[in-house]
C-alpha cells in the first residue's frame, strides 16, 4: 500500500473508529467486552490512564490512535482481510477490534493524549461532550539519514514474558541474541534479534543468581553474561542460558567494591569494565573478577566524573567510552584508563547532552542514549546524526535508557515506555 493510500486508509479508519466509539463500541466487539478490553489495557495507558475509575473521551481517542499505529505497522488483523485488493468496512472494523482487544505489540502510552478532540453538534451517549475527531499524526519518527530507521518493537509493562518494569541496560552477543536488564522485575530477559522471547533468569534477593535492581548487562565472546547487580553492589556472571557462575564486589569504595554499579562492558580479551556510579570512577577486572585497575574522581576535569552511568568498548579496540551523566559529556580512554578525548556539553543541539544515560560503540561508531533521542558520533566525537523525540509511538522515546549495537548495523534501545525498539543503521 503506497504512502498516500495508507494515509487515506488511516484517516478513514480513525473516523470510522470514532463513530463506533460514539455508539458505545457495540458495533466493534459488543458493549461489555469492548469497554472491558480498554480498561484491562490500563497498565499500558490504553484506557483509564488517570485511574479515575472511568474512561474519558480523550483516553478513548488515545487508545484508538495507538491501536491504529499498530495496524499501520501490520501487527494486527489485515486491512484487506478478504484478500480482494480492497479495504472494506468490515475489514476495518475487524482490524480495529483486533488492535483494541490485545494486539501484542501495542506500546504503552504517555499520560498526555497524542490526539486532540473537537466537539461537533452530535452528542456522545456517555457524556454531555460531543464525539471527538482524532488528529492524524505520523506513525514513525524519521531520522535525517538512513541511520535510525525504525524496524520493530516489543514489550509492555508487566512481569510476564516479554513484559518489563523499568528496562535498563541492553546487550547483543555475537549470535544476535538480545539481553535486557529488566531492573524492576529483578531479572534478565533474552530475546532473538527480532524480539521473540527466549528465556529469563534471576529473581529478587541477594543470593547467588538473585538480583536487586540490575541496571547493566554485557556479554563476552564466549557467551558469558555479566550483570551489574546495582543495589547489591556487585557483579554476577552467568552462562548464556542463565546458570550462575560467579560473583564479586561489596558495598564500599575500596578496590573491587562498588557504590551503585551501573554500566558494564567487555573488551576483546574478556576483561570487564564497570561504571562505579556513586564512587565516580571506572574499575577494570579480569573475566573472573580479579581487580586490575581503577581511574577517576569526582569532578568535571579531564578523567573526572559526575555519576558515570554507561560504558562501552569499541569492537575495533578503539578505546573505552564513558557516559559522564551529570557532566553531560562523553569521555574516551585507553584500555588502561589513560584519558584521550571528550565531547559534549549541556544542551539539546547536535552533540549536546541532557543527562546522558548510556552508550554503545561498534566499528568506530558511537551511539548515545540522550534523554528522548539517540545521537551517533564517530569515535573521535564528530557528530553524524540523531533520531527520536518525546512520545510513545514507533521511533519515539520516553527517556531512552539503554542502547546496544550488533554487527549487522542494528541498534536496540530501551526506554521508559517499557519496551525495546530496534532500528537499522547501515
* pLDDT surpassing 90 at residue 343: yes
Q: What is the reported pLDDT for 64?
A: 61
| Least reliable range by pLDDT among 38-42, 73-77, 146-150, 272-276 | 38-42
Alpha-helix runs per DSSP H in 3-135: 3-22, 31-40, 57-72, 89-100
* pLDDT surpassing 80 at residue 57: no
Q: What is the reported pLDDT for 146?
A: 75
For 365-395, write each residue's pLDDT tens digit.
999 999 999 999 999 999 999 999 999 999 9
- Is 395 buried (19+), middle (13-18) or exposed (0-12) by CB count in 10 A? buried
Query: Within 13 Å, how many C-alpha atoms sit on residue 346's CB side?
Result: 4
Q: What is the reported pLDDT for 14?
A: 47
Which comes out higher in pLDDT, residue 85 or 207? 207
- Compute the average pLDDT of residues 221-230: 97
CA distances from 87 to 8, 43, 53 (A): 11, 32, 36
Q: pTM above the 0.75 mark?
A: no
Q: Considering the chain, what percentage of its residues have pLDDT values greater than 90?
A: 64
Burial 143-167 (b: 16+ CB within 10 A, else e): beeebbbbbbbbbbbeeeebbbebb
Chain position carrying cell 577517576: 296
For 132-163, write each residue's pLDDT tens digit.
333 333 334 444 457 899 999 999 999 999 99
* pLDDT surpassing 90 at residue 23: no
Cα torsion through 291, 368, 217, 202, rounded to 10: 140
Amino acid at each position: 500500500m503506497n504512502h498516500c493510500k495508507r494515509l487515506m486508509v488511516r484517516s478513514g479508519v480513525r473516523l470510522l473508529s470514532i463513530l463506533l466509539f460514539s455508539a458505545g463500541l457495540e458495533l466493534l466487539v459488543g458493549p461489555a467486552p469492548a469497554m472491558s478490553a480498554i480498561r484491562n489495557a490500563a497498565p499500558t495507558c490504553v484506557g483509564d490512564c488517570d485511574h479515575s475509575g472511568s474512561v474519558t473521551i480523550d483516553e478513548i481517542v488515545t487508545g484508538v490512535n495507538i491501536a491504529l499505529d499498530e495496524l499501520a505497522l501490520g501487527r494486527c488483523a489485515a486491512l484487506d482481510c478478504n484478500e480482494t485488493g480492497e479495504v472494506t468496512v468490515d475489514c476495518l472494523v475487524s482490524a480495529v477490534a483486533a488492535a483494541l482487544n490485545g494486539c501484542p505489540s501495542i506500546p504503552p502510552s504517555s499520560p498526555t493524549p497524542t490526539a486532540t478532540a473537537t466537539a461537533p453538534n452530535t452528542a456522545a451517549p456517555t457524556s454531555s461532550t460531543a464525539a471527538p475527531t482524532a488528529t492524524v499524526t505520523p506513525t514513525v519518527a524519521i531520522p535525517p539519514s538512513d541511520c535510525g530507521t525504525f524496524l520493530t518493537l516489543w514489550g509492555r509493562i508487566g512481569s510476564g514474558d516479554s513484559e518489563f518494569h523499568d528496562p535498563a541496560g541492553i546487550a547483543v552477543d555475537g549470535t544476535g541474541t538480545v539481553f535486557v536488564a529488566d531492573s524492576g522485575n529483578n531479572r534478565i530477559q533474552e530475546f532473538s534479534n527480532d524480539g521473540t522471547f527466549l528465556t529469563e533468569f534471576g529473581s529478587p534477593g541477594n543470593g547467588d543468581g538473585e538480583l536487586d535492581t540490575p541496571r547493566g548487562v554485557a556479554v563476552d565472546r564466549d557467551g558469558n553474561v555479566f550483570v551489574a547487580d546495582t543495589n547489591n553492589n556487585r557483579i554476577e556472571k552467568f552462562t548464556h542460558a542463565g546458570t550462575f557462575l560467579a560473583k564479586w564486589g561489596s558495598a564500599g569504595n575500596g578496590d573491587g567494591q562498588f557504590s551503585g554499579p551501573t554500566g558494564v562492558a567487555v573488551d576483546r580479551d574478556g576483561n570487564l569494565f564497570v561504571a562505579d556510579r556513586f564512587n565516580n570512577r571506572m574499575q577494570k577486572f579480569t573475566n573472573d573478577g580479579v581487580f586490575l585497575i581503577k581511574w577517576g574522581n569526582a569532578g568535571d576535569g579531564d578523567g573526572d566524573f559526575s555519576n558515570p552511568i554507561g560504558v562501552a568498548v569499541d569492537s575495533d579496540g578503539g578505546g573505552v567510552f564513558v557516559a559522564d551523566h551529570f557532566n553531560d559529556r562523553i569521555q574516551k580512554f585507553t584500555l588502561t584508563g589513560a584519558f584521550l578525548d571528550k565531547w559534549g556539553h549541556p544542551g539539546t543541539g547536535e552533540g549536546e547532552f541532557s543527562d546522558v544515560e548510556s552508550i554503545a560503540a561498534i566499528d568506530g561508531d558511537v551511539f548515545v542514549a540522550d534523554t528522548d533521542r539517540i545521537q551517533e558520533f564517530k569515535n573521535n566525537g564528530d557528530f553524524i546524526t540523531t533520531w527520536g523525540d518525546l512520545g510513545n509511538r514507533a521511533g519515539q522515546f520516553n527517556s531512552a535508557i539503554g542502547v546496544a549495537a550488533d554487527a549487522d548495523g542494528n541498534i536496540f534501545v530501551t526506554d521508559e515506555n517499557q519496551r525495546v525498539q530496534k532500528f537499522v543503521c547501515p
